[in-house]
Amino acid sequence: MAATAPSFVALSRHHFPLLVEWLARPHVAQWWTHPQGAAAVENEFGPCVDGTDPTEVLLCAMDDQLIGLVQLYRLDDNPDYANAVGLPGAAGVDLFIGEADRLGVGLGPAIIAAALERVWRRYPDVPCAMAGPSVRNVRSIRAFEKCGFIAQGPVRVPDEEDEEMVLVCPRPTGA
């Protein structure tokens, strides 16, 4: 497991060049097939930075180095997606580690655990959190399962190449 806890920094436009770089890296692009390029990053993340899209987008830092991205959102803000995964009322958690040298050392579960704590505080009324990695992304599925997420099965989501594995983490008692 990671030696230090991850911290989060709100995404701003001055981070966009780093996002473009991360999203082009093979280990990220394999699973995050869009957005690619500066204009696509602006289109995807600009509304989140501006506050016109309620998705909370954070950069994850470990040991004072930015290493990845986390998105937190209400599925109800994306009704087509909520319907596809069958979890209206849930909160969604998406993430990637952009720095390849930080893969495989236990950071995924540490980041997920910290993101879950934030989900429970930010959305006190949601009954559960969900993640939907590609069914082929075994590393991601295992990281979420280590944090209490339970696989509910694959679903086909509009505009996605692969089926997603719906993983659900019930809100803990008292959270």
Q: What is the CATH number of the domain that holds 129?
A: 3.40.630.30
Token pair, residue 32, equals: 């995050």
Token pair, residue 61, equals: 């830092």
Range of the domain at 149: 7-170
- pLDDT at position 1 is 43
| CA–CA separation, 106 and 100 (whole Å) | 13
Establish if 143 belongs to a structural domain: yes
| CA–CA separation, 6 and 106 (whole Å) | 12
- What residue has token string 């436009």? 13
DSSP of 93-130 = EEEEE--GGGTTSSHHHHHHHHHHHHHHHH-TT-SEEE
Establish if 2 belongs to a structural domain: no
Establish if 175 belongs to a structural domain: no
State pTM to two decimals. 0.91
Q: What single DSSP character describes residue 78?
A: S
Backbone angles phi, psi at 66, to 5 degrees: -70, 130
Establish if 77 belongs to a structural domain: yes
| CA–CA separation, 68 and 99 (whole Å) | 7
Establish if 1 belongs to a structural domain: no
Establish if 101 belongs to a structural domain: yes
- pLDDT at position 33 is 77
- pLDDT at position 101 is 87
pLDDT along the chain (175 residues), means of 10: 76 96 93 85 95 96 92 94 91 94 88 96 96 94 96 88 93 80
Total of domains in the chain: 1
